[in-house]
Copies of this chain bind each other. A is one copy, B any other.
Amino acid sequence: MTRPVQRPAGPTLAVVARAASVSIATASKVVNGRADVAPDTRRRVTETLDALGYVRRPRLAPQRPPSVVDVVLRSLDDTWSGAVLRGVEEAAHEAGLEVMISAGLARNRGGGPARGWLDRLASRGTSGVLFNRAGLTPAHHAWLAQHRIPYVMIDPVADPPPGVPAVRAADERGARGAVEHLLALGHVRIAVLGGDRRRRYGGGAARVAGYRAALAAAGVRERPEYVRYAEFSTDLARERTRELFALAEPPTAVFACSDPTALGVYQALDGLGLRVPRDVSVVGFDDLPEARWVTPALTTVRQPLREMAGTALRRLLRTDGERVPPGAEAELPTRLVERGSTAPPRDAFACPGSRTAAVSPNEPGSGTGP
């Protein structure tokens, strides 16, 4: 304890190698305990090391292989990623793994990880990779299989090849529940702002399919002008909402296929002087923190993001990268969280086409409006 810390002294490995008539590489192998050195050579090098008083420099490096799981995200500063990271970190902590993060996806236009990142991953090793909302190409999948790197996709935005494990929320059922809630309140003029119409997953088509299923089950005719796509963008949602409320017969409720989409709806309605939920009901999808921050707080479909991330990690630890069981897709249930953004439509008692019927006889004067 009282011994002062000393810098290692003595000859360098190059000096040892020259004295033992071997290459530096061979001397290094002996020092590092590598097996691929001929016994005579090893003995000669070992004797030279001792004779010259070689002191190996202490490494600051890990003594054991770190047990690391990688998480690859599109971005780090959105609340979706935050919830996923929290879920991964908690599950990794339980499993005794460290978590390495990479926003590599954002650096590659194709939506998949960049080549340099993949090469680093292969050279440093990993227990496996969780891809969050990634659009991996067939080349990515082939590379991962070839390098035998286990991986699981969380809410993939493109169909993974058969057998690649994926974890997602029950998008279609969740969306259906959201629209059933609006129908139960008396809404029939319900619009939807979908994600990306070209994607089966990532909430695009699946959530719109849930919307359609709910309308069909209730016998409500679908109006094509009420189905629009905002690509999960608050800005686009603002535009789409203004279009919806410029229609001759605007909707009385909007189902936004993500919470950031719902924020755009709120902003557009505020600009139009319409109040939520008095004039328009809004339902989101995600239950991100922003759902509680807005006024009124947003009724939304809760995706269990933390649980999805934890499930993905546990799947990863079971996966051996070679024999992935088929049908390895996990779909976690959602639930509707009712807050302040939904109410019966103002003309709840109106027969379609006869707006005056909406006026209650007990409201004096309200029939004098336009």
Contact = CB atoms under 8 A, between A and B. Distances in A.
Interface of A: 30-35, 39, 42-43, 46-47, 50, 54-56, 59-66, 68, 75-79, 81-83, 85-86, 89-90, 93, 98-103, 107, 120, 123-125, 234, 263, 266-267, 270, 289-290, 293-295, 306
A55 B93 CA distance: 33
Nearest to A259: B293
Nearest to A46: B46
A315 to B, nearest CB: 19
Given A50-B39, A63-B123, A101-B99, A293 B294 contact: yes
Contacts of A34: 56
Contact of A295 (B39, B75, B76, B295): B295
B42 A43 contact: no
Interface-central residue, A33, A54, A63, A83, by most chain B CB under 10 Å: A33
16 contacts: A30-B33, A32-B33, A33-B33, A33-B56, A35-B55, A35-B56, A60-B125, A61-B64, A62-B66, A62-B125, A66-B68, A77-B79, A77-B306, A98-B102, A290-B293, A293-B294
B35 A100 contact: no
Contacts of A46: 42-43, 46
Interface-central residue, A75, A90, A289, by most chain B CB under 10 Å: A289
A224 B351 CA distance: 58
A258 to B, nearest CB: 13
A199 B95 CA distance: 36
Contacts of A32: 32-33
B98 A99 contact: no
A74 B99 CA distance: 15
A66 B275 CA distance: 54
Given A62-B65, A270-B295, 11 more contacts: A31-B33, A34-B56, A43-B47, A60-B125, A62-B125, A64-B124, A78-B289, A99-B100, A267-B295, A289-B290, A290-B290
Contact of A77 (B35, B55, B86): B86
A26 B202 CA distance: 54
Contacts of A306: 77
Contacts of A65: 59-62
Contacts of A124: 62-64, 66, 98
